[in-house]
Amino acid sequence: MKNVVIYDSTLRDGAQSQGISFTVADKIKIVELLDEFGIDYIEAGNPGSNPKDMEFFEIIKSKKLKNAKVIAFGSTRRANIPVEIDNNVNSLLHAGTDHVAVFGKSWDFHVSEILRTTLDENLNMIFDTIKYLKNHGKEVVFDAEHFFDGFLENPEYALKTLEVAYDAGADSICLCDTKGGMFPLDIFNITKKVVEKFNCEIGIHTHNDNGMAVANAIMAVEAGATQIQGTINGYGERCGNANLCTIIPNLHFKKGIKCVEDEKMKEITILSRRVSEIANAAPDERAPYVGRSAFAHKAGMHSDAVCKNTRSYEIIDPEMVGNERVLLLSEVAGRSAIIGIINEVDPTINRESEKTKRILEKLKEMEFKGYKYEGAEGSLKLLIQKVLGMYKPSFKLIEFKVIVNEPSVDDVNSSALIKIEVDGQEEITAAEGDGPVNALDNAVRKALERFYPEVKEMKLTDYKVRVLDSNSATAAKVRVIIESSDGNEVWSTIGVSTDIIDASWIALVDSIEYKLNKI
Ligand SMILES: [Zn+2]
């Protein structure tokens, strides 16, 4: 029986991370991934704070989700105004979600020093806002900001803020360690008091400034909290939020509390990696359960012991979270992960086959060059075809030239000239674009249209660049991942080079070849 609900805030608190910025399309993709995985609540943004979130809520209304309820997030009304005229509160109504979350201050210090209002007015702000939203038929989560800090300094007042929220009709009350400096025993004791006092769902929202976010969230559950707020990969401002990719497996496998279905647990590693890909943030290799090193054993005593009995050095079987055991310096590594994709290209190949071994060797070689095929499955399938001798290029590049003009006129600052060959026939075309890659993309597809009309259906939907760490004296490499769509299918391809145009070209060629090869 499931008795703890997961409340994801990747798109709201997670989006506060340094270096992370989600587009509306990114947010929709993440909602779909979280919903598919079985997350209960998705706090998706603050409609009052920016037009991007408004646009998101407009689009998400029309999507049918299987599990998740989307939540709009905002603050209590401003001081000394009627709630009805508070624009931020009204924007929560207009977001069109059934559920809303409202944060209010529970620490008297914050009320007087930061909000600069009276303690009584803060209580009124909490009450009025929740009451107003309840009167409009919303399910309301009250986020008690800085609750634990407040409780340690002025427990009567901190509890009073919860009472007011409860009396106004809040459906759940979430206790926040907003500063992220609490320790597990304090969290346990304080949460227990709150759980005993209130007859509603009590949540926990912890930050990781002292490295305790996950431990604190679990202690709150031990004390009776039944809603956990956190983010995928622990994204969040400063040191981040409680990492759901650690908490969910901990509860599931170690505490017997199942927040998602058994078979879904096998997808948590891929969920973590997809979200990091969308966030354009390098995955944390050492992340518990889902990191690439979580089940990596170096050759020698440890890997020897793991080969005898995996319990010796593994907290769970990596397959239970869809991760894989990596015996470093061993060719056994990675086979199970790749065999499914190999079979999409050629169903007759099995794990032990010589061909699988050759593919793995090629993969290792490419990874050494900086390629990374999670999130670039289009290129991976082409690579498998190449190793198996099944790949037939649809065209040949003779040459291209790209010219960049600054300043740009009407967003056009680049032109590309390209010469290609298809079955002995040459074609030369030129095209303009917003940036050199866009111009090159326009030119190559224009050149190919005569031979392959179906390239007209394709368009690039996403383009991401990452500079790879350079640990030698040579120039840093860049990794380009592009996502393309023809309206029916979406696929991603990769290119790596010391030159960004070259890396983009490699990814672009794969993208077109993937479409034309219809794997
Ligand atoms: Zn937070």
Structure confidence by residue, pLDDT tens digits, 378-404: 999 999 999 999 999 999 999 999 999
Give 229 Cα–ligand 1 centroid separation in angstroms. Answer: 9
Annotated catalytic residue 302:
yes
Give buried/exposed letters for 427-442 (b at 16+ CB in 10 A, else e): bebbbbbebbbbbbbb
Q: Which two tokens stand for residue 22?
A: 């989600």
Q: What is the pLDDT along the chain (519 residues), one digit of tens a residue?
A: 458 999 999 999 999 999 899 999 999 999 999 999 999 999 999 998 878 888 999 999 999 999 999 999 999 999 999 999 999 999 999 999 999 999 999 999 999 999 999 999 999 999 999 999 999 999 999 999 999 999 999 999 999 999 999 999 999 999 999 999 999 999 999 999 999 999 999 999 999 999 999 999 999 999 999 999 999 999 999 999 999 999 999 999 999 999 999 999 999 999 999 999 899 888 898 999 999 889 987 655 666 677 778 888 889 999 999 998 876 543 444 566 678 788 889 999 988 889 998 998 898 889 888 898 877 889 999 999 999 999 999 999 999 999 998 887 777 899 999 999 999 999 999 999 999 999 999 999 999 999 999 999 898 888 999 888 665 556 789 999 999 988 777 889 999 999 999 999 999 999 999 999 876
Q: How far is CA 270 from CA 64, 91, 255, in A?
A: 22, 34, 23
Give buried/exposed letters for 35-72 (b at 16+ CB in 10 A, else e): bebbbbbbbbbbbbeeeebbebbeebeeeeeebbbbbb
Tokens 């979130």, residue located: 53
Q: How far is CA 385 from CA 57, 333, 334, in A?
A: 42, 21, 18
Query: What is the percent of the chain where pLDDT is above 90?
Result: 75
Q: Which residues, including other chains, have CB under 8 Å from residue 116's CB and lie 6 or more apart?
A: none
Give 103 Cα–ligand 1 centroid separation in angstroms. Answer: 10
Q: Which residues, including other chains, have CB under 8 Å from residue 69's CB and lie 6 or more apart?
A: 40, 41, 42, 97, 98, 99
Question: Cα(314)–Cα(305) distance, rounded to whole angstroms?
Answer: 10
Give 230 Cα–ligand 1 centroid separation in angstroms. Answer: 8
Give 143 Cα–ligand 1 centroid separation in angstroms. Answer: 9
Query: In this predicted model, what pLDDT tens digit does every residue of 132-176 receive, in sequence order?
Result: 999 999 999 999 999 999 999 999 999 999 999 999 999 999 999
Number of H helices, E strands in the chain: 18, 16
Give 18 Cα–ligand 1 centroid separation in angstroms. Answer: 14
Strand partners, 197: none
Strand partners, 173: 142, 202
DSSP letter string, 350-368: -TTSHHHHHHHHHHHHHHH
Give 388 Cα–ligand 1 centroid separation in angstroms. Answer: 50
Question: Cα(34)–Cα(17) distance, rounded to whole angstroms?
Answer: 19
Yes or no: say if 195 and 208 are a contact pair by the CB < 8 Å rule.
Answer: no
Yes or no: say if 454 and 516 are a contact pair by the CB < 8 Å rule.
Answer: yes
Give 414 Cα–ligand 1 centroid separation in angstroms. Answer: 43
Give buried/exposed letters for 154-166 (b at 16+ CB in 10 A, else e): beebbbbbbebbb
Give 449 Cα–ligand 1 centroid separation in angstroms. Answer: 50
Tokens 């905002």, residue located: 74
Given 110, 205, 207, 302, the catalytic residue:
302
Q: Distance from CA of residue 418 to its chain's centroid? A: 37
Question: Cα(406)–Cα(413) distance, rounded to whole angstroms?
Answer: 6
